Amino acid sequence: MSRLLAIDTATEACSAALWIDGELHEQYAEAPREHAKRLLPMVETLLAEASLKLGDLDALAFGRGPGSFTGVRIAAGMAQGLAFSVGLPVVPVSTLAALAQGAADVEHPRLLAAIDARMGEVYWARYLLGADGLVSLDGDERVCAPEDAPVPSDGGWFGVGSGWKTYEERLATCLGNVVSGFDGARYPRASDVARLAVPVYERGAALPAERAIPVYLRDRVANKPG
């Protein structure tokens, strides 16, 4: 049995969720540029409603990216501060995985997660729904042009994430044959971050607070002169 707090601010959505022995409570808002301001009040509300203190929890999970650079740092930095203050371990969770987890069900067990990465690219990964009800990564996470997203060899995949909205035509051109449909309006949510983090915590794989570090995927962010 475990109690986890999860936070995610990697995309246009800002959310926090509390997992108490299998029961989930969530605060969620689509509020671009207001994540820093809104995150702590969400955490405060969740804990107050559950009559819990931060120190009563077992671990703190956060959406570690990919996504907006500033957004993933807000979640990572807040996770560091909160977790260190009361000595909790942290569980970094992929925002692409959280996105896929939110869209996965018996009818959609194979997911193509795509977050708009700007600059004509998407953050991209494939997920498969397992018997435990959780998605797992199939292949690797990458940042690439929609046309360069690896095409699965068989059909029955479902697309999810803002990348599908922004690059609908371009993705449909390359993936139309293998995709049954898509949900371009869904963002990663803290409740799904929590779902994916619980088994990681329970098998003892949570990390010390200073290891709450973002994963950006896009690592070429500046050019050296000359």
Partner 1 sequence: MRVLGIETSCDETGVAVYDGSRGRLLAHALHSQVALHADYGGVVPELASRDHVRKTLPLVERVLDDAGLVAGDVDGVAYTAGPGLVGALLVGAVVARGLAWGWGVPALAVHHMEGHLLAPLMEPDPPAFPFVALLVSGGHTQLIEVAELGRYRLLGDTRDDAVGEAFDKTAKLLGLGYPGGPALARLAEKGAPDRFTFPRPMTDRPGLDFSFSGLKTHALTTLRGIDAGDEAARAAVAKAFEHAVVETLAIKCRRALVETGLRTLVVAGGVGANRALRARLEALATELGGTVRFPRLEFCTDNGAMIAFAGALRLAGGDAPTAELAVRPRWPIDELTPPAAA
Q: Which residues contact 152 (CB under 8 A, 6 or more apart)?
A: 110, 112, 126, 178
Q: Which residues contact 20 (CB under 8 A, 6 or more apart)?
A: 3, 50, 52
37 binds partner 1 (CB under 8 A): yes
- Helix or strand (DSSP H, E) at 103: helix 95-103
- Evaluate whether 100 touches 196 at the Cβ level (below 8 Å): no
What are the C-alpha distances in Å from 177 to residues 108, 147, 155, 166? Answer: 16, 14, 7, 19
**Residue 142: beta bridge partners?**
124
209 binds partner 1 (CB under 8 A): yes
- Evaluate whether 152 touches 177 at the Cβ level (below 8 Å): no
105 binds partner 1 (CB under 8 A): no
> Among the candidate windows 79-87, 103-111, 160-168, 182-190, which touches partner 1 by CB under 8 A?
79-87
Taking CB under 8 A as the criterion, the residue among 81, 133, 156, 199 binding partner 1 is 81
203 binds partner 1 (CB under 8 A): no
54 binds partner 1 (CB under 8 A): yes
Exposure letters 198-221 (e unless 16+ CB within 10 A, then b): bebbeeeebeebeebbbbbbeeee
> Among the candidate windows 91-99, 103-111, 147-155, 207-215, which touches partner 1 by CB under 8 A?
207-215
Least Cβ distance, residue 225 to partner 1 (angstroms): 5
Phi, psi (rounded to 5 degrees) for 75: -65, -45
CB nearer partner 1, residue 39 or residue 135: 39
CB nearer partner 1, residue 106 or residue 221: 221
Least Cβ distance, residue 177 to partner 1 (angstroms): 38
85 binds partner 1 (CB under 8 A): yes
Taking CB under 8 A as the criterion, the residue among 36, 50, 52, 137 binding partner 1 is 36
Whether the CA torsion 33, 222, 92, 181 is positive or negative: it is: positive
70 binds partner 1 (CB under 8 A): yes
Least Cβ distance, residue 178 to partner 1 (angstroms): 35
Cα 147–10–173 angle (5° rounding)? 15
Taking CB under 8 A as the criterion, the residue among 16, 59, 61, 78 binding partner 1 is 78
Taking CB under 8 A as the criterion, the residue among 58, 77, 152, 207 binding partner 1 is 77
Point out which residues bind partner 1 (CB under 8 A): 36-37, 39-40, 43-44, 54-55, 69-70, 73-74, 76-87, 209-210, 212-214, 216, 221-222, 224-225
